[in-house]
A and B are shown apart, each in its own frame.
Chain A
Amino acid sequence: MSNQRQASSASQVPHLSPAELSYLYTSLSLPKNPIRPDGRSPTQFRPLSAETTILPGTNGSARIGFADGTQAIVGVKAEVEKTVLAADTLDSRSLAQHGDALNREGEQGSAAVSGQGEWVQMSIEIPGFRDDDALPVFLSEMMRESLVGSVAGGNGDAAKEMAGGLKGRLVINKRWHWRLYIDVLLLSQPLAYPLPLLSLTTHLALLSTKLPKLKSTGEEDPFFDDDWAAAEYLYPRSNTSKGPLSAAPSYPVRPPVTLLVISVGDNVIFDPNREEIAVADAVLAISVTRSSDSETLKLLSIRSIDPPSRLTQPGIPNSENVNMLGATAAPGEETGGQEEVEGVWRPRRGGVKRSVIARMVKTVLRKGGVGEEVLEGLEGVEVQ
């Protein structure tokens, strides 16, 4: 049972003594400039290595390795599937009129364009966990939710192609759609909470995903070009051929990324490592994406994650320590064990302040903020 709870929580609790936890908490919660164990600034990310299109058999794939040795591989596969419609939508009469329908593209009902969320399937494999354990299930649902929920607004050719977001992109015609299988594989033990790693890798994999080029038009049964080089990106790019090679392609629409943010006292800290999470007051998973034309980022979802600090053993103040009995002043005086004692570790309980959450979100979305920095960093990864 406790194992189960641990699994659902942000990560395995590191074996730190209450004194160490207390020290860590104190230094991270220093007002203005917290001191992180590895000396990073609060918004600084750890370096990572990334590459895309590493699995030839998939439609798109990526690998990201963090400097702490955690690595993830994501493969994306697409399959054509028949759309099951309500019984009366497609009778033989409408089939007979098919020929007309072919000439009237664009008049399709909005229902067909919208697509369905369940067309994206995600499975996450983490060593040491069964696939029905809470952590993988929770993680995959969290990432899938922002994926299918991201709807791009705006205009432009490519954006129009993405009308309806990823779900809309998967629609081939009224009767056929793509089903996307995203398989996420964490190669190492989950040293820290793996969400950001998996999210970034999935992001890259989706950017490199291609779908075979459709040759048929309108309501015909889909028929594809057998030349893989002609395949089209799932997330369309606007300038692939023009400009120098080094110029990163620009994406009018991008898949979302989910960032892990913690608060310690009044401080907001990004890309926390395992120890940092262990003392966090609140752990939030914030999903953002870039809307196509406006330069600002868009918030997709915020999920709070049960902070592992809740499960840590509390420190015992000297006053209660049996070993220290002799040294203390008033034996038998009940302190109740609930009040904060300076320098003594107490597991965090209760909520987070509204203002802190607001600041977290702001730091991510702000122009030139963390969110943009991350997306730019990912754009730097050459996607073939």
Chain B
Amino acid sequence: MKSLRRDLSANPQAANVTSKVFVRSTKSGKVQKIVRELYLREDIPCSSKLCSQCPTIAPADANGNIAPFILSDRPAGTTAFPRGHYLVPDTNALLNGMDLFEHTGAFYDVIVLQTVLEELRNRSLPLYNRLLALVKSDEKRFYLFFNEFRRETHVRRGPEETINDRNDRAVRMVASWYGSHLQQSAKKGKKEKAIPAIVVITDDKENLRKCKQENVAALSLSDYVSGLEGSEMLLDMISESKDARDSKETSRGELFYPEYFSMSKLTTGLRAGTLHQGVFNVSPYNYLEASVKTAAFDKPLLILGRDNSNRAIAGDSVVVEVLPKDQWKSPSTKIVDEEAVTRNDNPDTEETEAVVTDRERKALQEEVKKAHGKNSDGKPQPTAKVVGVIKRSWRQYVGHVDSNSTGSQASGRRQQNVFLLPMDKRIPKIRVRTRQASEILGQRILVTIDSWDRDSRYPTGHFIRSLGELETKGAETEALLLEYDVQYKPFPKSVLDCLPSEGHDWKVPVSKEDKGWNGRKDLRDLLICSIDPPGCQDIDDALHARLLPNGNFEVGVHIADVSHFVKPNNPMDLEASVRGTTVYLVDKRIDMLPHLLGTDLCSLKPYVERYAFSVLWEITPDAEIVSSNFTKSVIRSREAFSYEQAQLRIDDKSQQDELTQSMRTLLKFSKVLRQKRMDAGALNLASPEVRIESEGDEVGDPLTDVKTKAMLDTNSLVEEFMLLANITVGSKVYESFSQTALLRRHATPPPQNFEDLQNQLSKKRNMELDVSSSRALADSLDRCVDPKNPFFNTLVRILATRCMTSAEYFCAGAFAESEFRHYGLASPIYTHFTSPIRRYADLMVHRQLASAIGYEGEDGHAVIEGVSTRNKLEDICRNINVRHRNAQHAGRASIEYYVGQALKARGEKMAADGVDAGIEEEGYVMRVFENGVVIFVPRFGIEGVVRLEDFVLPGESGARSVAERRELAPHRTTEFDSEEYTLRVEEKGHPEKERSVTVELFQKVRVNVSSVKEEGRGAGKRRVRILVTEA
């Protein structure tokens, strides 16, 4: 039998079409062979300004413009490449050295291959996004070359060729093509000498060898960096994982951790329900204990010990396997700090150590004992171990170098391993290789984790940059912002270009014929005023009330009309949506919107006309709402009060002007509204916050600036009407956009969240906490009063708040209507509308409301974009939820830092007088551990761990240094009763009652607060030390 085959070689078009074949496994388990056809072209430019050919062939847009060429005609040179060079990195070079490529000192004129970009996306999405950002920004001159689509540089995979080999070949192919292409097409007048070298950056030895064979200039990343200026710092920025990989090939060290399950085994287990997925959450009090909340169980699973947590880091999405019942334990009752337990670890040698050191093991043993003990609420809980990691959420971490870990021979330029202690206690210490150990000691530095291999006790990372000296304001503020992922860079030019060209001179148009007046009501004659915290510049809201002829009242809430200035999808809007919220630190505000808008054009400043978005209600004298109405408006605020000023004015009987009268009306209504809300079951929650009110006087005691938030009637006045406006607007936008309304919900917390608190209350105070509904909870919280201890009620409220979930933004289509409820406010629907200057959610809601009321905008067509696409909205919700939480944390951390610094300043002042006695304050016991307690000090809004040595026993002087006190710890012993929540501390061998201290939960104690220099993790940051002086 004869057979023939069609011959395609004669077809001239055949070379232009090729295909890419791969296997795709879908989520539903289908496995498909996918064939993508590729049409090769010749009009993809090289984008070098040297080239005379490409500008003529590059594809043009509708206006005949071609994309500007990126690569410089005079690229920087190095000693090895004096004529200048373009870089062509391969995927591994980018994986290992992304920080280098982002560095502003070097790495300009880089050709990023499509092949490399795609490979990078498969390997690491965050790095891919960072590379894309580099390509988009102009200053670093990164050119994305679509080599797979250009006929000359397209590489067909040969038979038996691995994908990696093929991709390496593609990189070499591009390098050699660029070389010959520039040779041919360089503009006349440029001598051959001026043609830059094309340098391949690769760490693959085989690739380097082949480059040499094919006459392509190639260097490994470290070799290339060594040839640059300041190479020492740059070399530290290369990812560690590469070294680790190399060394592994040579010597296989001891494996400390069990291997992860294969991906397929994980998915099988997850589907079958034998494995569970969740986010790895490390306990803030015990770094060896973590919990994972899974969908299958009500309560989170415990993960105890380094072995079981198997290289997971706080925040990772992990897969866990439940351990057999005989290994179940109760959660720890001990405070375990990493640096206290592993103080003496040496970053260089670890071969001899087991992954769980004896000391760690001992710490765990004691917990097991506890689990087998008699205690009822410490029943053994299911424990689990990590068997796989679905997604790492490693980020950049701020910390400082552990001074104990730098070798004594730290002099010289030798590369050495040091430990970095992250600020976040839940992150394990990170091993960093550095050549500049002596310089970065005592500085806040930024590092990133590269890998955590089985043969390493600690993750390895690399140095990115130094933020400055420890404990300097700049470094600490930046550290805070980085740690909470707050975007703090100045607004780029593209954003500032979106501002009105008039700048500060912008005014509401005088003529009502002006298009700015389209659809706006003139409310300038209303007596409107604003009430805000003192010194507030970004005034979001203003109010008014007036009597209507029919005996009812008209009450109006007027909100800054930010959506007038921020048009959807322009750079300013995108920037704001990324930032999500304004972040308030003690001495700094990181704005969501540029200054011009936030503090001037949008801000409802007094005495000037401003655009506003108004909500107007008609209210009966009994505070029943007759109707509500929404309109864009123009207002003129008569006065901007602070809470105190407003309060004084209301209370001042001599003031009888109309403005004051309307404020009194508002106050009256707000009280009724509040009562109604409380009756509906709204919770009166408490947070331990304090305010820093710095009046700018350097001389005074900075501690006096620390103020607990005073609750005036006027605070509540504004709050009530803002709540009312939010609720009214929420139901209005939901009515119009049943799928896409942006709302805010507060989920009903599951009753088991309160179990611990309920136990504690009934044990210690014989009080009941009814959590069956928010109303019941509110009532039972009201009953939790201790006549001898007025703060007790607040303390319980703080603890109860922590048992709840946090409120979140969501898109109406994502939940059933019954799930919209805001638990804390006891409102069936809620949204954020009243602070568009500082919250992006409010801005979105403004747009939705404008569209809901048919506001047509200045130019006659309504802007409803961003209102209609649910996917986009859900992305925005996710982002602003995260940003919102981060902003809160950053704010709190900032206050904490301020308090610490204030205490330090005071301590230094006192020390000058001879005594550093600290400050005597009242404290309350919040949690009792086996070896310490957590104390809350309301005066400063701080809570701190009090260890054994920090108990001042009767007959002992409190004034001792940190070191001296530390000596005390081994001599002390405790008696811990986990059922009664009491802890008795005594000197070893002195069980006499009068020489011991007993503390119990909720107890009020006298404490001595001071700022002390800490060693270990807190070094330099200074810990706020709390001494219990009197129980």
Interface residue ranges, A against B (CB under 8 Å):
45, 47-51, 56-59, 78-80, 82, 92, 95-96, 98, 102, 212, 215-217, 219-229, 231, 241, 373-374, 377-378, 380-382
Contact = CB atoms under 8 A, between A and B. Distances in A.
B22 interface: yes
B738 interface: no
A49 B1 contact: no
B27 to A, nearest CB: 12
Interface in B801-844: none
Contacts of A216: 262, 264-265, 268
A221 B1 contact: no
A219 B25 contact: no
Contacts of A226: 22-25
B1 A223 contact: no
B65 to A, nearest CB: 38
B4 interface: yes
A241 B19 CA distance: 24
A221 B274 CA distance: 13
B23 A227 contact: yes
B21 A228 contact: yes
A80 B272 contact: no
Interface stretch (B28-36, B235-243, B459-467): B28-36
Contacts of A102: 265
Nearest to B271: A221
B272 A98 contact: yes
B22 A222 contact: no
Contact of B262 (A47, A220, A231, A377): A220
Contacts of A50: 3-5
Contacts of A374: 1
A48 B163 contact: no
Given A80-B29, A220-B265, 10 more contacts: A45-B1, A49-B5, A50-B4, A51-B3, A216-B262, A220-B268, A222-B264, A226-B24, A227-B23, A229-B163
A189 to B, nearest CB: 22
B157 interface: yes
B3 A57 contact: no
Contact of B29 (A48, A95, A221): A221
A252 B859 CA distance: 77
A56 B19 contact: yes
B793 interface: no
B263 interface: yes
Given A221-B268, A223-B267, A382 B35 contact: no
B157 A221 contact: no
A61 to B, nearest CB: 11
A212 B265 contact: no
Contacts of A56: 19, 21, 35
A229 B33 CA distance: 11
Interface of B: 1-6, 19, 21-25, 29-31, 33, 35, 157, 160-161, 163, 262-265, 267-269, 271-274
Of A216, A217, A382, chain B has the most CB atoms within 10 Å of the CB of A216
A272 B50 CA distance: 71
B31 A227 contact: no
A79 B30 contact: yes
Contacts of A222: 29, 31, 264
A1 to B, nearest CB: 39
Please give me the 4 A-B residue pairs with the lowest Cβ-Cβ distance, nearest first.
Answer: A377-B1, A216-B264, A223-B264, A49-B4
B160 A241 contact: yes
A381 B3 contact: yes
Contact of A221 (B4, B5, B35, B267): B267
A241 B6 CA distance: 24
Contacts of A381: 3
Contacts of B4: 49-51
A134 B275 CA distance: 51
A223 B263 contact: yes
Contacts of B30: 79-80
Nearest to B262: A216
Nearest to A221: B268
5 contacts: A56-B21, A212-B31, A223-B25, A223-B264, A373-B1
B5 A51 contact: yes
A316 B263 CA distance: 78
Given A102-B265, A223-B267, A96 B274 contact: yes
Nearest to B265: A220
A57 B271 contact: no
A373 B2 CA distance: 11
Given A48-B1, A50-B3, A223-B264, A212 B33 contact: yes
Contacts of A51: 3-6
Nearest to A55: B35
A98 B274 contact: yes
B582 to A, nearest CB: 45
A227 B22 contact: yes
A374 B23 CA distance: 34
Given A49-B4, A377-B3, A378-B1, A224 B29 contact: no
A188 to B, nearest CB: 17
A301 B21 CA distance: 38
A379 B273 CA distance: 49
Contacts of B274: 95-96, 98
Contacts of B160: 241
A229 B157 contact: yes
B113 to A, nearest CB: 19
B33 A59 contact: yes
Contacts of A225: 23
A225 B24 CA distance: 9
B270 to A, nearest CB: 9
A51 B33 CA distance: 20
B993 to A, nearest CB: 54
Contacts of A229: 21, 157, 161, 163
A205 B826 CA distance: 68
Of A224, A225, A228, chain B has the most CB atoms within 10 Å of the CB of A228
